[in-house]
A and B are shown apart, each in its own frame.
Chain A
Amino acid sequence: MNVNCVIVDDLKVAVDYIRRCCEKSSMVDVKADFPDVPTALEYLNQNPVDLLFLDVEMPGATGFELLDQLAYKPQVILITSKPEYAYNAFEYNVTDFLKKPFTYQRFLEALQKVSIQQEEKVNSESSDHIFIKSDGKLIRLNYNDILYMESMGDYVKFVTTEKKYITHNTIKALEEKVNKTYFMKVHRSYIINITKIDDIRENDLFIRGIEIPISKAHKPDVLKRLNII
């Protein structure tokens, strides 16, 4: 694995230590480090990276606020020990947590998780199906059968041509995992199969007669993606 990363942490000794661990591993190239969210955001939105080592509590904005404002979704290793952030981490699809100071061995374990997620991402982009856990079973859904996915709080409803399935997941996490050739997020609560769109109105689209909203934030991407003139 070879990834590039940015470190965002206001503790210099921690930044130095993470840099040292990255160099030692020969798997991670540190592009830059920043002590706060605004300077990090400015760089990251111009220079996408694969991985962020991200502190949570920093002067001004928090690490989660950085993730909210970032235009893309890199993998994230959160540098925190607080269990209350675990819920947010699920929401933001964080790969691992590291509590300062951590040993080099622990750092390698986190990198191993990064590597696995990188592989899963590559696989999902080339596959034609997904496995979901629903009703205690592992179910294979072919992309061609999925009409759309709808958020239901801590769950997601997969609507297929035959059935509906409820799985413990979030739209945010799924957005990273599904094949982008087929799927697109059109609203904070919906990912749709673009090959199943029947028609599009001003702020909605229709799949098998079901009306799905297109949010203002996602509309430009939808128009661009569907090549609407």
Chain B
Amino acid sequence: MDSPSTHKRFIFNSEIDIDFLFSLYENDFRYIQEVFGITLNQLQPDLEQLDNAWQLKDLEGVRRGVHKIKPSMGFVGLSHLQSKCVDFEKLCRSANTATEIEQEFQHLWQSLVKSRDIIETEYRKLKNHNGEA
């Protein structure tokens, strides 16, 4: 029996929680492609908004930005990154200024930018798998 990660010769990026992804969408690869596509479209403007908030050192704006992105990570199986967003949001609530959480923000930012690349790659792979490349 094929393991979920190699269904129909499709191999997801190792960062993606395959079990969780399939618990949401079963084996519907066309819908999974749709989810990745919608998420990718939304993620770029959301990242820009987050970056703007950070440049302005708007702590509440940063928190809201991460709050917005957080569930998107879950929908594409990046559950560990969704958890990181949860932790970062808590940090924002307890901090007084954005400067206090600079290091944590930079770590999260790197992870989010990397996630965008992962989602983009997986989306292209899914399109190819579904015969739409």
Label chain B's interface by main secondary structure: helix
Q: Assess the A10–B24 pair: CB atoms within 8 A.
A: no
The interface size bin for chain B is 10 to 19
Q: How far is the CA of A104 from the CA of B24 in the complex (A)?
A: 7
Indicate if B72 sits at the interface (CB-CB under 8 A): yes
Mark each residue of chain B from 15 to 45: 1 if its CB lies under 8 Å from any CB of chain A, else 0: 0000000011000000100110011011000
Indicate if A113 sits at the interface (CB-CB under 8 A): no
Q: How far is the CA of A57 from the CA of B41 in the complex (A)?
A: 20
Q: Assess the A57–B38 pair: CB atoms within 8 A.
A: no
Q: Assess the B71–A10 pair: CB atoms within 8 A.
A: no
Check A16/B42 contact, CB under 8 A, given A11-B72, A101-B74, A101-B75: no
Compute the total of residue contacts between A and B using a CB distance below 8 Å: 38
Q: Assess the A13–B42 pair: CB atoms within 8 A.
A: yes
| A101 touches which of B64, B71, B86 (Cβ 8 Å) | B71
Q: Assess the A16–B24 pair: CB atoms within 8 A.
A: no
Give the residue name and chain of the A residue nearest to B86 (CB): A81
Chain B nearest CB: distance from A214 CB in Å? 41
Q: Assess the A10–B75 pair: CB atoms within 8 A.
A: no
Mark each residue of chain A from 30 to 71: 1 if its CB lies under 8 Å from any CB of chain B, else 0: 000000000000000000000000000100000000000000
Binding site for A on B (CB under 8 A): 23-24, 31, 34-35, 38-39, 41-42, 64, 67-68, 71-72, 74-75, 86
Binding site for B on A (CB under 8 A): 10-14, 16-17, 20, 57, 81, 100-101, 103-104
